[in-house]
Amino acid sequence: MGKGEVRGGRKLASAKTKKHEKETWDIAFYADGEQVPADAFMRSIPSKPRRQLVVWILAVAAFPPYRFPASTMFQPMSQEGAVDMSGFHETRDEHDGQLYRLLCIIDRHAATKGCPNPVLAIIDGINKPVRTKVPDADYARIKRLGEDYRASNPRKVRRPLGLPGWLQPKA
């Protein structure tokens, strides 16, 4: 019996499943003039955590980001000390007693703000010794960068900046 044929007085439903178009998400880096905080951060850290953060960012962007399951690899942020970081996500990696983090914004509206596609916007990075707290001033600084990013039209971004270079050993 084929699609649309009648069996027992009832029409059979189509066996086709609804196809979903794959969403294209870009990875972009917040840039204020010539300053690109996430690029400077990534170039400052050792190659092992840098490589792992790149791998995870590429995986999140391919998923797409808003559907990526929360995990230690990529998770939403909330209250961090005295600073509300809601609206940010972080990807993290631990190496040699240090925790390395990239703080990102999932920007579904970037395509209406001068970008060709929605964007996983990497705002900045931060590292700290494991089991220590990041100073509130650092979170407040990154939150201000995120607010500047969200207020910009067109978006203040550079793409794809640095990914191949980040995968190379640190000079």
What residue numbers bound the domain in which 80 lies? 26-166
19 occurs within a structural domain: no
Q: What SS3 state is found at 24?
A: coil
Q: Is 55 exposed, middle or buried (0-12, 13-18, 19+ CB in 10 A)?
A: middle
Task: Kindly state whether residue 6 falls inside one of the protein's structural domains.
Answer: no
Q: Is residue 140 part of a domain?
A: yes
Classify residue 9: in a domain, yes or no: no
> Residue 5 falls within a domain, yes or no?
no
Does 2 map to a domain?
no
What is the reported pLDDT for 5?
Answer: 46
Cβ atoms of 77 and 90 closer than 8 Å: yes
Contact 116, 133 (CB under 8 A): no
Report if residue 20 sits inside a domain: no
pLDDT recorded at residue 169: 53
Distance CA 78, CA 166 (A): 28
Residue 17 within a domain: no
Return averaged pLDDT per consecutive 10 residues of the chain, 171 residues in all. Answer: 47 41 85 92 93 91 84 90 95 95 96 93 96 96 98 90 56 45
Tell me the per-residue pLDDT of 89-124, one tens digit each, with 9 for 90 and over. 999 999 999 999 999 999 999 999 999 999 999 999
* Tally of domains within the chain: 1
pLDDT on residue 23: 81
